[in-house]
Amino acid sequence: MSLSSNQHLRRYLWPCAGLLVLFIINAIISPEFFHIEFKDGRFYGSLIDVLNRAAPVALLAIGMALVIATAGVDLSVGSIMAIAGAVSAYFITKGVDSLALIIGAGLVAGLIAGIINGFLVGYMSIQPIVATLILMVAGRGIAQLINEGQIVTFDHPGFAFLGTGSFLGLPFPVVLVIITFAIVQLLTRRTALGLYIEAVGANPSASRYIGLNEKAIKMSVYCVAAVCAALAGMIAAADIRGSDANNAGLWLELDAILAVVIGGASLMGGRFSILLAIIGALIIQTLTVTIILSGIPPKYNLLIKATAIILVLLLQSPLFQKQLSQLKFWKNKKEMNNA
């Protein structure tokens, strides 16, 4: 079994090493980075902030990991965040007080979006990038319609708890990520669903002969992705106590895809790891914090982020690893010749 455990570990090696390196850099730049304080019943500190800020992208990445495993992609999750935020804001401003009803409405809105995506991709065989592009564009428009073109603010302490509350000392968004992770992990790894998703991603045609319902599996992953996005959207709305259809979740679909890819997944489908996707989201967020802490002018942010991400991806690329080892090989050979 040595091979299997090796392969398994190797998948975790680079993303974890990347995160670790970033942590160390942060600790050097700012010794305060690992300092965590407990006051008023919750933890405070840079590390906690990273976790808290990474929560929306981590939620998106959980769903995106499943979608990408089926060789798909969901560009609409950012817009679904905006829709879910707008729907819950609408219910609150209309005087609905029941938290279950408000959150339920947001989640149902997400589910409907997911069904639309799943239908287009799974049952209509439209390319995922095009199918979800529709809702990426239209979704934000729908959110604007719900908000009637305004930024809708509200005051609902119960709902605000989603974004700013804490539980067992942890920010509540972080708790939500942990719960979502646990549920999705349970669903995919304690039942055969995870294996089915990987099978459909690895070879859709062979999956059909095995009796897998490719359409239904695709439908379900887009639904999970959309519901995760709705949850993230409500966290974002709760955080600012308002719904901003233009900016809520803007471009976050790209961060989510990046998080999954940094986690070592292939856009060609197949193997997925939700934990690695979350680590990917943490890397993206930590990087942002690193740039801020290091005092580099903000105008360099995007470039530095891009460079760091290219490095992580290169290190994971089998081709690059091979060429790197060949480089070593030639160097050794040269030294041998010289000696």
Partner 1 sequence: MSQVVLQLQNIHKKFPGVHALKGVNFTLRAGEIHALLGENGAGKSTLIKVMTGVYQRDDGDILLNNQAIFPNNTGDAQALGISTVYQEVNLLPNLTVAQNIYLGREPRRFGLINWTKVNQDAAQLLKGYDLDIDVTQPLSSYSIAVQQLIAIARGVDMSAKVLILDEPTASLDADEVQTLFRIMRDLKARGIGIVFVTHFLDQVYAVTDRITILRSAQLVGEFETATLSRAELIGHMLGKELAALGEHKPQAHATSGDALLSVQAISRQATLSPTDIAVSKGEVVGLAGLLGSGRTELCRLIFGVDKKHSGNVTFHGQPVNFSSPRDAIIAGMGLCPEDRKHDGILGQLSIRENIILARQVKQGWWKFISRKEQEEIANNFVKELSVATSDIEKPIEQLSGGNQQKVILARWLAANPSLLILDEPTRGIDIGAHAEIIRLIRKLCDQGLALIVASSELEELVAFSNKVVVLRDRQKVTELTGDEINPQRIMQAIAAH
Outline where DSSP puts E strands in the chain: 37-39, 42-44, 152-153, 166-167, 170-171, 242-243
In the three-class reduction of DSSP (H, G, I as helix; E, B as strand; rest coil), residue 166 is classed as strand
Q: How buried is 16 (Cβ within 10 angstroms: 0-12 exposed, 13-18 middle, 19+ buried)?
A: middle
Do 256 and 235 touch, CB atoms closer than 8 A? no
**Closest CB 209 distance from partner 1, rounded Å:** 5
In the three-class reduction of DSSP (H, G, I as helix; E, B as strand; rest coil), residue 43 is classed as strand
Do 249 and 81 touch, CB atoms closer than 8 A? yes
Looking at the DSSP assignment, which residues form a beta bridge with residue 264? Answer: none
* CA 275/CA 245 separation, integer angstroms: 30
**Closest CB 4 distance from partner 1, rounded Å:** 3
Quick one: 187 or 250, whose CB is closer to partner 1? 187
**Closest CB 268 distance from partner 1, rounded Å:** 9
**Closest CB 270 distance from partner 1, rounded Å:** 4
**Closest CB 222 distance from partner 1, rounded Å:** 18
Do 288 and 51 touch, CB atoms closer than 8 A? no
Quick one: 142 or 199, whose CB is closer to partner 1? 199
Quick one: 193 or 226, whose CB is closer to partner 1? 193
* CA 235/CA 252 separation, integer angstroms: 14
**Closest CB 20 distance from partner 1, rounded Å:** 27
**Closest CB 216 distance from partner 1, rounded Å:** 10
* CA 23/CA 282 separation, integer angstroms: 11
DSSP alpha helices (H): ranges in the chain?
2-29, 46-69, 77-93, 99-118, 128-146, 157-164, 172-189, 193-202, 204-210, 214-240, 252-262, 274-293, 301-316, 318-338
Quick one: 199 or 287, whose CB is closer to partner 1? 199
Quick one: 132 or 188, whose CB is closer to partner 1? 188
Quick one: 203 or 301, whose CB is closer to partner 1? 203
* CA 74/CA 91 separation, integer angstroms: 27
Quick one: 128 or 270, whose CB is closer to partner 1? 270
Rounded to 10°, the helix 193-202/214-240 angle is 110
* CA 117/CA 106 separation, integer angstroms: 17
**Closest CB 83 distance from partner 1, rounded Å:** 30
Quick one: 28 or 210, whose CB is closer to partner 1? 210
Residues 6+ apart with CB under 8 A from 180: 59, 62, 228, 231
Binding footprint of partner 1 on the chain (CB under 8 A): 1-4, 7, 190-193, 195-196, 198-199, 202-203, 205-213, 270-271
